[in-house]
Amino acid sequence: MRPYEPIEQVSIRAVRPDDRERIVKAFRGLDQGSVYRRFFFHKKELKEQELRRVTECDGVSAAVLVATVGSGDREIIVGLGEYVRSGASADIAFAVEEDFQGRGIASRLLQQLADIARANGILQFEADVLAENAPMLAVFRNSGLRMQTSHGQGVTHATLSLT
């Protein structure tokens, strides 16, 4: 278990190109259950194109926010939220390091991504969530955004209205 700073010390900011190694380190620190809930399959490494897509986003058609603790050389990424636009909609996804789950980080990431998306004309978020991932579904349900869901093959498809 990684020692953590109080939740007030968690900062949320836009990803930067120099976050590449911090993202690799954060991914390697996730347990396989968290990786599976995020990607729907087990994987040990992020591919080069995934790292490039995350760290080189434009903040309009794709936006990535990171939750960090510490600063400078001691800054650690403990969460990441992203959207990728498709027309007036955007797919969203989140990952939060296990020691920081249940502390409101995904909710904060969602709210800030919603603000960015609205400013860029996005009308709704969409996400596929494993039906067993009750904590993520609760984040969506408690977000204050109108949510519609459909279910199939162990996956809940959530549509969150930004209007």
What pLDDT, on a 0 to 100 scale, did the predictor assign at position 98? 87
Average pLDDT rounded to a whole number, residues 31-40:
80
Any idea which residue has 């209205």 for tokens?
Answer: 161
Q: Which of 71-80, 105-114, 154-163 has the lowest mean pLDDT?
A: 71-80
Say if 11 falls within a structural domain.
yes
Tell me: the pLDDT tens digits for 147-159?
Answer: 999 999 999 999 9
CATH of the domain at 58: 3.40.630.30
Give the whole-number percent of the chain exceeding pLDDT 90.
Answer: 74
pLDDT tops 90 at residue 139: yes
Half-sphere exposure (Cβ direction) of 77: Cα atoms closer than 13 Å: 27
Q: Which domain holds residue 114?
A: 7-161
Q: What pLDDT, in 10s, does the model give residues 101-111?
A: 999 999 999 99
pLDDT score recorded for residue 72: 86
Q: Is 1 part of any domain?
A: no
Confidence of residue 113 (pLDDT cuts 50, 70, 90): very high
What local confidence, expressed as pLDDT, does residue 41 receive? 72
pLDDT for the residue 22: 94
**2 is a domain residue:** no
Residue 53 falls inside a structural domain: yes
Work out how many domains the chain is built from and give that number.
1
Q: Are strands 124-130 and 147-152 parallel, antiparallel or unpaired?
A: unpaired
| Distance from C-alpha of 69 to C-alpha of 10, rounded to nearest angstrom | 5
β-sheet with 62-69: strand ranges across: 11-14, 62-69, 76-86, 89-96, 124-130, 155-161, 147-152
Please check whether residue 82 lies inside any domain of the structure: yes
Whole-prediction pTM? 0.89
